[in-house]
Chain A
Amino acid sequence: MNRRHKHSRAIERIIEGSLVVCSLASILILAVIFIFLFYEGVPAFRDISPHEFFLGTVWQVQAVEPAYGILPLLSGSTLVTTGAMVIAVPLSLLCSVYMAEVARPALREITKPFIELLAGIPSVVYGFVALTVLADITYELTGAVHRLNALNGALILAVMVSPTIISISEDAIGSVPREYREAAYALGADRWQTTSKVVFPAALSGIMVSIMLGLGRAIGETMAVLMATGNAPLLTFDILSSVQTMTAVIAIEMGEVTFGSTHFHALFAVGLVLLLITSVVNVTAEIVLQRFRSVRY
Chain B
Amino acid sequence: MTNRELKAKIAFTAIRASALIVVAVACLLILHIVVNGYKIVSWSFILDSPRRGMTAGGIFPAIYGTVCLIVLTLAFALPIGLASAIYFSEYFGSKWSSLVIITRAASNILAGVPSIVYGLLGLGLFVLLTGFGFSLLSSSLTLSFLTLPVIIAASEEALHSVPLAYREAALALGATRWQTVRHAVLPYAIPGMITASILALSRAAGETAPILLTGAAYFLPRLPTSIFDQFMALPFHIFTLSTQSVNPAITRPIQYGTVLVLISLVLGMNLVAIMIRAYYRKRVRALL
B228 interface hit (Cβ, 8 Å): no
B213 interface hit (Cβ, 8 Å): yes
B33 interface hit (Cβ, 8 Å): yes
Q: How far is the CB of B219 from chain A (nearest CB, A)?
A: 14
In the complex, the answer to whether B113 meets A278 with C-beta atoms within 8 Å is yes
In the complex, the answer to whether B91 meets A19 with C-beta atoms within 8 Å is yes
Per-position 1/0 for B140-172, Cβ under 8 A of A: 000001001100100000000000000000000
A129 interface hit (Cβ, 8 Å): yes
**Complex-state Cα separation, A90 to B22, whole angstroms:** 12
**Complex-state Cα separation, A268 to B119, whole angstroms:** 11
Chain B, 63-102, CB within 8 A of any chain A CB:
79-80, 83-84, 86-88, 91, 94, 96, 99-100, 102
> What number of A residues sit within 8 Å (CB to CB) of B?
87
A271 partner residues in chain B, CB cutoff 8 A = 116-117, 120
In the complex, the answer to whether A221 meets B114 with C-beta atoms within 8 Å is yes
- The listed residue (A24, A26, A40, A125) touching B110 by CB distance below 8 A is A26
In the complex, the answer to whether B209 meets A191 with C-beta atoms within 8 Å is no
Question: Given contacts A222-B209, A250-B116, are A282 and B109 in contact (CB under 8 A)?
Answer: yes
Question: Given contacts A220-B115, A286-B108, are A125 and B88 in contact (CB under 8 A)?
Answer: no
**Complex-state Cα separation, A94 to B194, whole angstroms:** 33
A106 partner residues in chain B, CB cutoff 8 A = none
B190 partner residues in chain A, CB cutoff 8 A = none
B79 partner residues in chain A, CB cutoff 8 A = 22
- The segment from A31-39, A55-63, A66-74, A232-240 found at the interface with B is A31-39
**Complex-state Cα separation, A182 to B105, whole angstroms:** 36
Per-position 1/0 for B246-271, Cβ under 8 A of A: 00000010010001001100110010
- The listed residue (A37, A128, A267) touching B238 by CB distance below 8 A is A128
Per-position 1/0 for A201-237, Cβ under 8 A of B: 0000000000001001101111100010000000000
> What number of B residues sit within 8 Å (CB to CB) of A?
87
Q: How far is the CB of B181 from chain A (nearest CB, A)?
A: 9
In the complex, the answer to whether A114 meets B110 with C-beta atoms within 8 Å is no
A143 partner residues in chain B, CB cutoff 8 A = none
A186 interface hit (Cβ, 8 Å): no
Question: Given contacts A22-B84, A220-B115, are A91 and B22 in contact (CB under 8 A)?
Answer: yes
B1 partner residues in chain A, CB cutoff 8 A = none
B278 interface hit (Cβ, 8 Å): no
A294 interface hit (Cβ, 8 Å): no
**Complex-state Cα separation, A12 to B91, whole angstroms:** 12
A262 interface hit (Cβ, 8 Å): no
Question: Given contacts A37-B117, A121-B266, are A30 and B176 in contact (CB under 8 A)?
Answer: no
Chain B, 170-185, CB within 8 A of any chain A CB:
176-178
B262 partner residues in chain A, CB cutoff 8 A = 122, 124-125
B52 interface hit (Cβ, 8 Å): no
**Complex-state Cα separation, A63 to B115, whole angstroms:** 29
Interchain Cβ contacts under 8 Å between A and B, 24 examples: A20-B99, A22-B84, A26-B152, A29-B106, A29-B145, A29-B148, A30-B106, A32-B121, A33-B110, A98-B19, A102-B12, A111-B22, A115-B26, A118-B29, A125-B33, A128-B238, A128-B239, A159-B25, A220-B112, A220-B116, A222-B115, A251-B119, A254-B119, A255-B212
A positions within 8 Å CB-CB of B:
8-9, 11-12, 15-16, 18-20, 22-27, 29-30, 32-33, 36-37, 39-40, 90-92, 94-95, 97-99, 102-103, 111, 114-118, 120-125, 127-129, 131-133, 159, 162, 166, 190-193, 195-196, 213, 216-217, 219-223, 227, 247, 250-251, 254-255, 259, 267-268, 271, 274-275, 278-279, 281-283, 285-286
Extra inter-chain contacts (7) besides given A122-B266, A124-B208, CB under 8 Å? A16-B91, A91-B18, A95-B18, A124-B262, A125-B206, A191-B12, A274-B117
Closest 9 CB pairs of A and B: A122-B206, A220-B114, A282-B112, A22-B83, A192-B8, A94-B18, A19-B87, A26-B107, A98-B19
